Amino acid sequence: HVAIYRQDYRPPDWLVPEVTLDFDLSADRTRVLSTLKVVRNGQHDRPLQLAGDELKPVSVHVDGSQARWALHNDNLVIELSGNEGTIETEVELSPAANSKLMGLYASGGILCTQCESEGFRRITFHPDRPDVLSRYRVRMSADKTSFPILLANGNLVETGEGEDGTHWALWDDPFPKPSYLFALVAGDLGANRDIFTTMSGRKVELAIWVRENDLPRTRHAMDSLKAAMRWDEEVYGREYDLDLFNIVAVDDFNFGAMENKGLNIFNSRYVLADQDTATDADFDNIAGVVAHEYFHNWSGDRVTCRDWFQLSLKEGFTVFRDQSFSADMGSEAVKRIDDVRLLRAAQFPEDGGPLAHPVRPESYIEITNFYTATVYNKGAEVIRMMRTILGADSFRKGSDLYFDRHDGQAATCEDFVTAMEDASGIDLSQFRLWYSQAGTPKVTAHMIHDAATGVATLKLAQHVPDTPGHSGKQPMVLPLKTALIGADSGAQLGDERLILLDREEVEVEFEGVGEPPLLSINRDFSAPVLLQSERRAGELETLAASDPNPFARYEAGQELMLRALIAGARGEVIDSSPVIEAMRGTLMSNALDPAFKGEALTMPTEAMIGDRMEIVDPDAIHASRDALRRAVGAALTALLSEAQAAGAAGSDLSPHAKGVRRLKSVALALLTAGDPGRGAELAKMQFDAADNMTDRQGALMVLASLDAPEREAAFGAFYERYRADTLVLDKWFALQAASQRPDTMSVVEKLAAHRDFTLKNPNRWRALVANFAANQWAFHDASGRGYRFVTDMILAVDRLNPQVAARQVPVLGRWRRFEPQRAELMRAQLERIVATPGLSKDVFEQASKSLV
Ligand code: B3K
Ligand code: ZN
């Protein structure tokens, strides 16, 4: 397996201005005839190389004649004497046999494609690199009964009837695009149709294509799409450019969704929702993913990536755009809290482990392994910081300039930063380190107050940790939104300031500080760093009760809990009253909205506690968290019962109603920690009375961890009601895999043999395996049984679908963080993976790098 390096980038030897494809489609045997117009790029005498993956050429013609060609490692090599040529190839595929779900494959009778990053080469021979942009014309023909709907990118030009019950469609995409944005779909689908009028008055035909039965569950996705289209016009000035926009949902999909030009293809879990089957979180995720894929039309399709090292150019920016959209549609503070939680849960561990890589990686073996939280979520933080430093207006000018300058091009991260600099006049040279230096910067803060002069001096220092292959890093630019809060008054002293910590150490003075100041720093999580600050007694309590910045207030509360939880895990006797009092204050507040309360009452996960400790001992952490939850539940019974008793109609999807439901289930969980018997009764009542999936799942989640007859009753009822509904049945698997009971491992092993479990559907596999692996206490059982189980599952699915398998390897890669016995057991499973014959390069890369 060879590594590819960013510094080796060379422009393509041959360009392909035009691609014509002719598909004769069927599930078992599809014929693809491709005609490429190729043009030599620059002065050289290198042959034309077309990538292929598991393709066998039936025939190859150059300019109409039989050509001299050779296959080198799956790639088609053709010597061309002139500067131009027309290459015709014919291949045969079996979509039904394609278990990798890359290229052309079958999902429940629908034929569909997935090409990013390198799936197009599984359909036909092509350079298949993002800096080769072509105009596509696609003819598809298929049996009319099985595949009445035929879709591809761009505009529908013509349709017709063929022989033997077939029909055909001709599609043309006027926008040159890289091959990874190619898509087609053939199937028996119904459409939810709508019209969107763009800001310049053009009418766009929208359609969401699903199985006929699922049509009633597409309304929210359609509403989200229209909201996203309007938002991109208003906030970024970006208008949609084709006359139609199609979304198709399929059940078997390797990740969330794909932004193919004019024909987005989605994992059905990010399209289908109604109040009976989807939680509020599902609704929010659908809005976020629909918006994300739509936003890619500009940040991804119109301006694409030069090479895959630049992936964050489109992904970091587009995640930032979808985060801002969701914030505007709901609560900005709650959205920020959720995004930071995800960053800490997924990206910080990556940045601190063996697979750490910069936002713009330097090398890869399998590019699919680099669709990471670093490229996506840290990438989004980098964009957010640029906006914070430049200000909203200059940032918008920068994005306008970027889109203008690079429209129709394949660009780099450097191009984006340069546009921001040119539009704002702000020098971002040092800021660029965010693209090249991996690792989460550590910031320490120390404040001294001189009561006599009224001057508070804040001393800040930063350190960027070493990561594999990279030590001795330079200081970065860390924008820290900061304010002082009076220790006595609880009021903010003066305006918020934006401090740029851009050296190893910086001192900042605040004048006119009359009372002892408390430090409210990194507000809104303005820089993605780990902050350590000395806190005086009572400081976090005051900030948690009165910091006017909601995010900072939330942070102080979480920090308060973390301190108690970590102390408890270390075996210290802890005083839980500060946490209880903070929670009491939150519950009693009239100023806070219920969604925020729900967040503030959610304790840091066991994994997060572990991330803050030198050595992770899962049992000690579990016991500590359990004890604090019991104490809180017992002390705040009345207030929690009140919050649990409140409710909102399932049909009400307003942010307020969602908040009420969120708080309801958080309160139920805490109450149950205090009194499991009463909790079981309440949970069963909530489950039975629920008119929506949020309340139902919230209750089931609590029951999942109990030893009570109500548990079996509820899980049984849930299964009977939803067994035919794939997406809801995933929840049934996921909830049991996340359960906090001593027998979770045995239950999960049984579920892996359940008749509804399958390795072939990525959602189902992840529902069981990823949720179990994220269940720290169960997965890290001292016997090592959890490690063996997950390894077995990785190896089993690797034979079918390497992408899905590789995603699960990093949990084992964290072995160095655990106490020695577990570390050794985890390492042994990684060794076992690497020693497995026939391993995919996806899994090989992740496992071998995790061992170094
Ligand atoms: N661009 C796709 C991700 C493709 C993943 C390929 N392994 C979806 C998205 O980020 O919008
Ligand atoms: Zn994306």
Q: Which domains does the chain have, with CATH numbers?
A: 4-188 (2.60.40.1730), 304-436 (1.10.390.10), 442-527 (2.60.40.1840), 529-674 (1.25.50.10), 723-852 (1.25.50.10)
DSSP assignment string, 325-390: HHHHHS-HHHHHHHHHHHIIIIIHHHHTSTT---SS-SEES-GGGG--HIIIIIHHHHHHHHHHHH
CB of 635 closer than 8 Å to CB of 665: no
Q: Which ligand approaches the C-alpha of residue 380 most closely?
A: 2
Q: Which ligand is nearest to the CA of 102?
A: 1
CA-to-CA separations, 244 to 156, 204, 387, in angstroms, rounded: 9, 5, 32
How far away, in angstroms, is 315 Cα from ligand 2 center? 5
Ligand 1 pocket residues where CB is under 6 Å = 116-117, 255, 257-259, 292-293, 296, 315, 368, 371
* CA-proximal residue: ligand 1, atom 3 (nearest): 258
Whole-angstrom distance, CA of residue 825 vs CA of residue 822? 5
> What pLDDT is recorded for position 472?
97
Q: Whose CA is nearest to atom 5 of ligand 1?
A: 116
How many angstroms does the Cα of residue 202 sit away from the middle of ligand 2? 26
Substitution candidate for ligand 1 out of 102, 116, 269 with most atoms within 8 A of CB: 116
Residue of 259, 294, 317, 807 with the most ligand 1 atoms within 8 Å of its CB, for mutation: 259
Ligand 2 centroid–CA 220 distance in Å is: 20
Name the 3-class secondary structure at 672. Answer: helix
* Nearest of 25, 239, 35, 226 to residue 113 by alpha carbon: 25
Give me 459's structure tokens.
């001393």
Quote the CA–CA distance of 168 and 161 in Å, as a whole number.
Answer: 6
Looking at ligand 1, which atom is closest to the CA of residue 803? Answer: 7
- Bridge partner list, 105: 112
pLDDT below 70 — which residues of the chain? none
Atom of ligand 1 nearest to the CA of 292: 11
CB atoms within 10 A of CB 630: 17
The CA 314 to ligand 1 mean position distance, Å, reads: 10
From the CA of 367, the nearest ligand is 1
Cα→Cα distances 157→19, 139, 185, Å: 16, 10, 16
- State the pLDDT at residue 840: 98
Q: Is the dihedral of CA 336, 339, 341, 347 positive or negative?
A: negative
Paired tokens of 773: 């692996």
Q: What atom in ligand 1 is closest to the CA of residue 293?
A: 11
Which residues are catalytically annotated? Answer: 293
Q: Which ligand is nearest to the CA of 316?
A: 2
* Residues 6+ away with beta carbon under 8 Å from 352: 439, 440, 465, 611
Å from CA of 303 to ligand 2 middle:
13
Q: Which atom of ligand 1 is nearest to the CA of 255?
A: 5
Mutate to test the pocket of ligand 1, among 120, 177, 258, 364 (most ligand atoms within 8 A of CB): 258
As a 3-state breakdown, the chain gives helix, strand, coil percent values, each rounded to 5, of 45, 25, 30
Query: What residue owns the CA closest to ligand 1's atom 8?
Result: 258
Which residue's CA is minimally distant from atom 2 of ligand 1? 258
Nearest to 508, CA basis, from 458, 473, 468: 458
Residue bearing tokens 């990118």? 153
Q: What is the ipTM of this complex?
A: 0.99
| Ligand 1 pocket test target in 122, 179, 313, 315 with most atoms within 8 Å of CB | 315
Distance CA 99, CA 128 (A): 21
Q: Which ligand is nearest to the CA of 116?
A: 1
| 294 Cα: distance to centroid of ligand 2 (angstroms) | 9
Ligand 1 centroid to 172 CA: how many Å? 23
- Ligand 1, atom 4, lies closest to the CA of 116
Question: Going by CA atoms, what residue is nearest to atom 9 of ligand 1?
Answer: 258
Helix (H, G, I), strand (E, B) or coil at 160: strand
> Which residue, by CA, sits nearest to atom 1 of ligand 1?
258
- What letter would DSSP give residue 46? P
Nearest atom in ligand 1 to the alpha carbon of residue 376 is 10
Tokens, residue 422 = 């040119």
CA of 455 to the centre of ligand 1 (A): 51
Q: Whose CA is nearest to atom 7 of ligand 1?
A: 368
- Ligand 2 centroid to residue 291 C-alpha, Å: 10
CA of 259 to the centre of ligand 1 (A): 8
What pLDDT is recorded for position 68?
Answer: 87
pTM: 0.99
CA of 30 to the centre of ligand 2 (A): 29
Asked if residue 778 lies in contact with residue 771, where contact means CB atoms within 8 angstroms, the answer is no
Ligand 1 atom nearest to 117, measured from its CA? 6
Q: Whose CA is nearest to atom 10 of ligand 1?
A: 315
Q: Are 337 and 551 in contact (CB under 8 A)?
A: yes
User: What span, in angstroms and rounded, lies between the C-alpha atoms of 68 and 172?
Assistant: 31
Length of the chain: 852
Number of the ligand 1 atom closest to the C-alpha atom of 368: 7
Protein residues within 5 Å, CB atom, of ion ligand 2: 315, 318
d(CA 494, CA 474): 33
Task: Give residue 215's pLDDT.
Answer: 98
Q: Is the peptide bond before 665 cis (omega within 30 degrees of 0)?
A: no
Q: How far is the CA of 13 from the centre of ligand 1 (A)?
A: 26
User: Are the CB atoms for 128 and 120 separated by under 8 Å?
Assistant: yes
